[in-house]
Amino acid sequence: MTGGVSPFREKLIAGMQREGYTAAFAEETFSRLEGFGSYGFPESHAASFALIAYASSWMKCHYPDVFCAALLNSQPMGFYAPAQIVQDARAHGVEIRPICVNASRWDCTLERSAKPASNRSRGLALRLGLRLVRGLANKDAAALIAARMPLYESIDDVWRRGDIPLQALEALTNANAFASFGVDRRAALWAVKGLDTAPLPLFAAADRGRNFIEPDVALPALPARDAVHEDYRMTGLSLEAHPVSFLRPLFDRRGMTRCGDLATMRDGARISIAGLVLMRQRPGTAHGTMFITLEDETGIANLIVWKSVRETWRRPLISAHLMVCHGTLQKEGEVIHVIMREPEDRTDLLKGSEPVKARNFR
């Protein structure tokens, strides 16, 4: 089987000979093309890919909650970040519940929801799993889950019964996994820092944990902006807000375009957009071109960075967590890209809870 290559044999060989190539070289060239046409990308490969694409699309359409859970449980995937997956699922009516020391398993799971079923919801909610907590080992999560019947009542109870190291408790605290106890992240971290790794030998079994009693301390709540940043640092996403939303007043004053507004703008418009860098890709077949995905609170933008721009602006392109892109909008039907002219690394705007004085955007 030679696919659709064989009918072009005589035309290719004759044309190569007219251009000065020998008949032997032309025959060898065609033989290689014919071999690749037969085995390099067979129709079965295309058919298999089409079937997978259709099945994935059907699952995403009819069972968006299951589809979202499956993608999150398959991380890291190398393309879609958890924040992007969750944002898309919420846009399709999926209720997402936070990581909880009493409710989350290692994987993301589905739970019964109090909301009635509808065309976009089957009465199920997706509970984020402990696997998303950065720095939490699977074995520590397993120990935590095995000991939580009856359910934990406090951080001290988790420490006594869960038998996990303080590092794991701190990771859970930073991921806000103790919110169900009615304590915010800062108060929970204070409580964890008060635990001791070396209980007194005589009372080790009964008094594992605190070796002294501390007075209650009224700590100020963690500012919303800092809490969101901590969510992203520990889990790669936040259910409260998007980090860029806190910077929107600044960006609006600078005339920055929102990612969600790109579809309404004209082809060829010169724009500036800002967002978190979700993904950088530089395929070997792209001849040095880089592809970057930015995300703000309204959606995503796909950037194309030509080789010349990449070589000129390599440092901000590689190191930025929050990037400003000055570029040109390219639209063809529903396909939208931004051709980058110049990037800026504005990661400094993510630091701190107070408004940051920004340098002038170009």
Domains recognised in the chain with CATH numbers: 6-39 (no CATH), 51-132 (no CATH), 244-350 (2.40.50.140)
Angle at 41 between CA 39 and CA 282, to 5 degrees: 130
Query: Of 154, 152, 176, which is closest to residue 239 (Cα–Cα)?
Result: 176
Residues contacting 122, CB < 8 A, separation 6+:
63, 65
Residue 174 is predicted with a pLDDT of 92
Residue 91 is predicted with a pLDDT of 87
Tokens, residue 148:
């939580």
Query: Of 320, 264, 265, which is closest to residue 295 (Cα–Cα)?
Result: 320
**Tens digits of residue pLDDT in 120-159:** 557 899 999 999 999 999 999 999 999 998 999 988 889 8
Query: Is the CB of residue 205 less than 8 Å from the CB of residue 194?
Result: no
Q: Quick one: which H or E segment has residue 166?
A: helix 166-174
Q: Quick one: which H or E segment has residue 274?
A: strand 270-281
Q: Is 180 exposed, middle or buried (0-12, 13-18, 19+ CB in 10 A)?
A: middle
Q: Quick one: which H or E segment has residue 293?
A: strand 290-296
Tally of CB atoms within 10 A around 49: 10
One-letter amino acid identity for 94? V
Residue 353 is predicted with a pLDDT of 42
Residue 160 is predicted with a pLDDT of 87
Q: Is 283 exposed, middle or buried (0-12, 13-18, 19+ CB in 10 A)?
A: exposed
Residue 310 is predicted with a pLDDT of 92
Query: Of 296, 342, 284, which is closest to residue 317 (Cα–Cα)?
Result: 342
Q: Which residues of the chain have pLDDT under 70?
A: 1-4, 36-43, 78, 116-121, 196-217, 352-362
CA distances from 125 to 62, 63, 81 (A): 15, 12, 20
Q: Is 290 exposed, middle or buried (0-12, 13-18, 19+ CB in 10 A)?
A: buried
Bridge partners, 260 (sequence order): none
Residue with tokens 């694409």: 53
CA distances from 11 to 40, 206, 259 (A): 22, 88, 49
Query: Is the CB of residue 210 less than 8 Å from the CB of residue 156?
Result: yes
Ramachandran angles phi, psi of 322, nearest 5° = -115, 120
Q: Is 322 strand, coil or helix? A: strand
Q: Is 202 strand, coil or helix? A: helix
